[in-house]
Amino acid sequence: MDLLAFARGPALTFATAIFVAGTLWRLVGVLALPPWRDLSPAREGAPPNWLGAIETVFRKMIPHKTFLKAGMFTTVNGYVFHIGLALCVFAFAPHILFLKSLFGFSWPGLPNGFIFGVGALTAASLVAALAYRLTSPVLKLISRADDYVSWLLTFLPVVTGLAAASHIGARYEMLLALHVLSICAFLIWFPFGKLMHAFLFVFSRGATGARFRHRGAQL
């Protein structure tokens, strides 16, 4: 069995199983927590808890105006690489074919040249995010190994995908194997590191919104 066959076969199967099981385990752990009960009366004019939760999930996608100027780079750059990653994963024709083999349905993709440009912009945005983390005294102080591992395992699939698409650095089969293996590493790490925020941010923001809006806070 060559490296590409191993990556596409046992490695990807194992990584997907860990990703699914680990993600479900984390989600069940959150949903199984005792429900929050605030016995105090809601502040006059406060919305229901569910509405406060939904409000906050979407409202906090843009920083409060007080912090908008100071956080402009992290806000814009964060949207660039998050949207870029989503387009690379869900709008690139070979990825769509792979997802079709898993789920049985597909959708139209975007032109390969456009996705390549998006991938390059995403890689540059991730490098900029790392540089900002390393040069910001506050971010550097609060960063832990998880932050850097999560960054690396997000960056590697992008850069190996660009290399495979452009046939640069090695034979295509080798580049594709490295790309798939980097995705496997991403999937295995996902449930156990900060990448899990892709799911958990809804719960954390929702809980914050429900509690503070119940008390009459403007978020």
Interval 25-51: pLDDT, tens: 999 998 888 877 777 777 777 777 777
Q: Does residue 38 lie in a domain region?
A: no
- The interaxial angle of helices 12-31 and 172-189, nearest 10 deg, is 20
Owning domain of residue 204: 3-29+67-214
Q: Is residue 59 one of the residues assigned to a domain?
A: no
Q: CB–CB of 127/138 below 8 Å?
A: no
pLDDT in tens, 98-157: 899 888 889 999 999 999 999 999 999 999 999 999 999 999 999 999 999 999 999 999
Confidence (pTM): 0.89
> What angle is formed at CA 147 by the lines to CA 22 and CA 210, rounded to 5 degrees?
70
Task: Give the CATH number for residue 107.
Answer: 1.20.950.20
Of 95, 96, 92, the closest CA to residue 117 belongs to 92
How many independent structural domains does the chain possess? Answer: 1
How many angstroms separate the CA atoms of 97 and 88, rounded?
A: 13
